[in-house]
Structure 1
Amino acid sequence: MRWEPENYNMEVTTLWSFRERGNWATHNGRYRGNWSPYIPRNIIKRYSKENDMVLDQFMGSGTTLIETKLLKRKGIGVEINPYAIKLAKNNLDFNKNREYEPKIYNGDARDLYFIPNNSIDLICTHPPYSNIIKYSHGIKDDLSNYDINEFIDEIKIVAKESFRVLKGNKYCAILIGDTRKSKHVVPLGFRVMEKYLEAGFLLKEIIIKEQHNCKTTGFWYKKSIQYNFFLIAHEYLFIFRKPNL
């Protein structure tokens, strides 16, 4: 098993594109919508150091926490879906840096009561994009079951909790994409960005991440020509900084 990507170079521009998703360690693409491990690797290596505390409050199948363990950071994962937690624990069960086993909580990103104020060195997370992909059925507080306006209202609470737990002068990285409804683009990414700015964060970077291998791209190609719309092939990686208060 390879423990790191081959020929890895840290990203240095605001345009990121990973044609190969990344399959070192236990990384895999079986959990729909999980992000490429190149993204948390870049963020963790750039904005944290060994033994720092890294939080992913939308843990999913554990991609970020695999990287915290590999890179010798103390990871905390929060996930509302027990099925995803089961997948994450399985993905994290490897014999490398066992002293950096992350802490995993079945909880809600809007209520991180078990994390003290100003205790996190880096937030690195990938929330659902409203209800574009519904990750659960019957879990009332799962944000992937919320339509756009409700989702934005709840993200405002997530942003406030992120601000509370993060140390001053530290960074919060969040990947979010846009969607389309009634033949028009809904700028979900920018609406989420606004809520983080309202919570008190400063915007450090906007990175455009190109999407590859979308499962529906082949089907939608002809539709995009027929009905005159462009396929959304980008996501936003916002890097926020919490100012020293």
Structure 2
Amino acid sequence: MIIELQPNSFSPEQTTIWSFPDRGKWATHSGRYRGNWSPYVPRNLILRYSKPGDWILDQFLGSGTTLVEAKLLNRNAVGIDINPQSISLSETNLNFKCETQSKIFVRKGDATDLSFIKDDKIDFICTHPPYSNIIKYSTDINGDLSLLDEDAFFKAINKVAKEAYRVLKKGKYCAVMIGDKRYRGNIVPLGFTLMQKYLDVGFKLKEIIIKEQHNCKSTTKWIGVKRNFLMLAHEYIFIFYK
């Protein structure tokens, strides 16, 4: 049974530094799905860049966090994911009653091909793609970006960005969160490379938000280990404008 449908205390973020030590467990939110974002992130983004009744798109549905927030905040939403397990989990998480009249749709699909959506139909895109192959969400699903190395990943992200630009209405916003990774001790700048892919297809850059990471499972293995690098503790939220 769901007891609380809204956070106990919430105030919109006012700067470009965001930090949510309390991950947020209202409605059906939980941290059990590895790599999903805190619901405070889409809540802030949805409230700032959309209005009630708008259509929101999440191209990487995951466990449905963005769509749960859209439902709670009286926005309509479409979420897609290439992984059937994600679709099933999201449908479960979205199966609750609230007083809003939102239309919420979950669809198995590929973020690089949104042909089921016509041009200029979406009011806001709010999404959190995998960070290349840091966390693999499947073993053999064709088109799963979490299985790709950096080169293949960014070829796919170019298509993701093109489709996002096509379906988004002019004058509207697209928010994408991503972090960097390390390889042999050196930084692989996934964030800024993704940012450039979106700029290359025509988006303008409205904001760069730095989000502090909390409760990262990979951090514990480095505690007490001598190393010649700093542990990554931030992610980027890019706000693009069409």
Tell me, in whole angstroms, the C-alpha distance in 1 between the residues paired with 2:191 and 2:137: 19
1:69-112 CA deviation, whole Å, 9 max, x = no partner? 00000010011000011000000000114632411110000000
- Aligned twin of 1:202: 204
Q: What is the CA distance between 1:187 and its match in structure 2?
A: 0.5
Q: What is the CA distance between 1:130 and its match in structure 2?
A: 0.3
Q: What is the CA distance between 1:58 and its match in structure 2?
A: 0.2
Tell me, in whole angstroms, the C-alpha distance in 1 between the residues paired with 2:193 and 2:224: 30
- Aligned twin of 1:236: 236
Letter in 1 for 2:45: I
Q: What is the CA distance between 1:228 and its match in structure 2?
A: 1.2
Q: How many corresponding residue pairs?
A: 240
Gaps (5+ residues) in structure 2? none
Q: How does 1:75-114 map to 2 (within 5 A)?
A: 75-97=77-99, 99-114=101-116
SS at match of 1:99: coil
TM-score (norm 1): 0.96
Which residue of the other structure, out of 135, 142, 145, is the alignment partner of 1:143? 145
Q: What is the CA distance between 1:205 and its match in structure 2?
A: 0.2
2:199 is equivalent to residue 185 of structure 1? no
The answer on whether the counterparts of 2:73 and 2:100 sit within 8 Å (CA) in structure 1 is no
TM-score (norm 2): 0.97
Letter in 2 for 1:103: F
Tell me, in whole angstroms, the C-alpha distance in 1 between the residues paired with 2:56 and 2:218: 33
SS at match of 1:36: coil
The answer on whether the counterparts of 1:69 and 1:97 sit within 8 Å (CA) in structure 2 is no
Tell me, in whole angstroms, the C-alpha distance in 2 between the residues paired with 1:194 and 1:99: 37
Q: How does 1:1-245 map to 2 (within 5 A)?
A: 1-97=3-99, 99-223=101-225, 226-242=226-242
SS at match of 1:44: helix
The answer on whether the counterparts of 1:177 and 1:235 sit within 8 Å (CA) in structure 2 is yes
Identity within the alignment, %: 57
Tell me, in whole angstroms, the C-alpha distance in 1 between the residues paired with 2:104 and 2:34: 22
The answer on whether the counterparts of 2:56 and 2:78 sit within 8 Å (CA) in structure 1 is yes
Tell me, in whole angstroms, the C-alpha distance in 1 between the residues paired with 2:24 and 2:151: 34
The answer on whether the counterparts of 1:56 and 1:125 sit within 8 Å (CA) in structure 2 is yes
Moved over 4 A (4+): none
Q: What is the CA distance between 1:227 and its match in structure 2?
A: 2.2
SS at match of 2:217: coil
Letter in 2 for 1:237: I
Letter in 1 for 2:57: L
Letter in 1 for 2:233: A
